């Protein structure tokens, strides 16, 4: 399929997917994926709500982009500025809902804050950009793979995709709508040549190439915004320094020995201790189970390379080696 044809088909299917997965509000980071979703509903002339979360006192890159997108596509924009105290205070609720102490929890905290605010405003359904990175090679670690390996990996990933927004939404009573995960969108994404997903422009390598090209006219510079983790774009990465300052090197080493767990960093330990308090013990794999997480010893579903409890992930090279 040629680029022009792919762009036309992608726009058509995504427009239909947005209609099928319509929601009262949008989680808007100002990144490519959510900005595309913001651009599509405006054609029907409807005015909707958008929620953006940033950490107060940080230079959150998401803020300026999200403001521009919300204004351009006529969204009622709700900005949530989390204080350090509010963010730390919300962690137990997030960990309890997800039953996880994954080091990526600052990302989940941002989603939780947006969904909670939406819930407080009486909103019952929220649209997210989940799935675009997994289906269109949005992550930088995918960009150096051969076409064969990328196609194989994305196909496998499409069958095991997991998004914390679903669990958080279910716990809060907010329906999560994910247009990129619509079956027809998934089928198209997997059918596309990997060359339409990863390409270079002005000396820089981009994932999600075809998504950028398909919506460049509406989004302008936003279409070429680089991929940033939610915690970085929102400024929530500041929490890491705050948490690290609470735990000395000696305490960190002592607790690794005491818990018999090789924590990835001090934040991981901090999240685990909250997990023990609000969730309890880690559900251990039963004897004879084929796949067990090497870090927390929980059961790891077959063909799953990421532990949803502790956040451990096998290197991509391990997956590719097993498949070749």
List, in order of start, the domains of the chain with CATH numbers. 3-234 (3.40.50.620), 285-324 (no CATH)
* Contact of 186 with 178, CB cutoff 8 Å: no
pLDDT score for 303: 66
- Phi-psi category of residue 85: left, alpha or beta, with phi > 0 → left and psi -120 to 50 → alpha: alpha
Provide the pLDDT confidence category of residue 286 given band limits of 50, 70 and 90: confident
pLDDT score for 43: 46
* Contact of 178 with 130, CB cutoff 8 Å: yes
Provide the pLDDT confidence category of residue 300 given band limits of 50, 70 and 90: confident
* Contact of 296 with 261, CB cutoff 8 Å: yes
pLDDT score for 113: 98
Provide the pLDDT confidence category of residue 315 given band limits of 50, 70 and 90: confident
Closest Cα partner for 114 from 35, 31, 39, 55? 55
At 129-180, the pLDDT tens digits run 999 999 999 999 999 999 999 999 999 889 888 899 999 999 999 999 999 9
At 173-211, the pLDDT tens digits run 999 999 999 999 999 999 999 999 999 988 899 999 999
- Distances from the Cα of 122 to the Cαs of 45, 126, 268, in angstroms? 22, 11, 34
At 41-89, the pLDDT tens digits run 644 445 589 999 999 999 999 999 999 999 999 999 999 999 999 999 9
Length of the chain: 324
* Contact of 138 with 227, CB cutoff 8 Å: yes
What's the mean per-residue pLDDT of the chain? 92
pLDDT score for 28: 97
Distance of alpha carbon 66 from the chain centroid: 16
């Amino acid at each position: 399929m040629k680029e022009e044809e792919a762009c036309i088909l992608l726009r058509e299917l995504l427009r239909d997917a947005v209609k099928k997965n319509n929601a009262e509000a949008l989680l808007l980071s100002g990144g490519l994926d959510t900005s595309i979703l913001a651009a599509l509903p405006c054609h029907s002339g409807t005015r909707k709500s958008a929620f953006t979360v940033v950490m107060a006192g940080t230079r959150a890159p998401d803020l300026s982009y999200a403001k521009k997108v919300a204004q351009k596509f006529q969204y009622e924009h709700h900005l949530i500025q989390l204080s350090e105290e509010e963010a730390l205070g919300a962690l137990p609720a997030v960990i309890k809902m997800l039953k996880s102490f994954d080091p990526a929890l600052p990302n989940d905290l941002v989603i939780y804050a947006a969904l909670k605010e939406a819930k407080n405003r009486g909103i019952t359904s929220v649209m997210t950009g989940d799935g675009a990175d997994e289906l269109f090679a949005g992550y930088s670690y995918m960009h150096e793979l051969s076409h064969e390996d990328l196609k194989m990996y994305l196909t496998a990933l499409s069958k095991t995709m997991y998004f914390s927004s679903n669990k958080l939404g279910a716990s809060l009573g907010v329906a999560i709508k994910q247009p990129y995960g619509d079956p027809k969108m998934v089928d198209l994404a997997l059918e596309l040549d990997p060359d339409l997903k990863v390409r270079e422009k002005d000396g820089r390598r981009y994932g999600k190439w075809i998504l950028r090209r398909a919506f460049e006219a509406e989004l302008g510079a936003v279409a070429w915004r680089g991929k940033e983790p939610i915690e970085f774009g929102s400024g929530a990465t500041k929490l890491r320094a705050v948490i690290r300052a609470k735990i000395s090197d000696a305490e960190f080493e002592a607790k690794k020995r005491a818990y018999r767990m090789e924590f990835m960093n001090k934040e991981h330990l901090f999240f685990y201790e909250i997990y023990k308090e609000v969730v309890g013990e880690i559900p251990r794999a039963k004897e004879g189970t084929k796949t067990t997480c090497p870090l927390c010893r929980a059961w790891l579903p077959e063909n799953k390379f990421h532990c949803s409890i502790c956040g451990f992930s096998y290197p991509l090279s391990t997956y590719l080696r097993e498949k070749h």
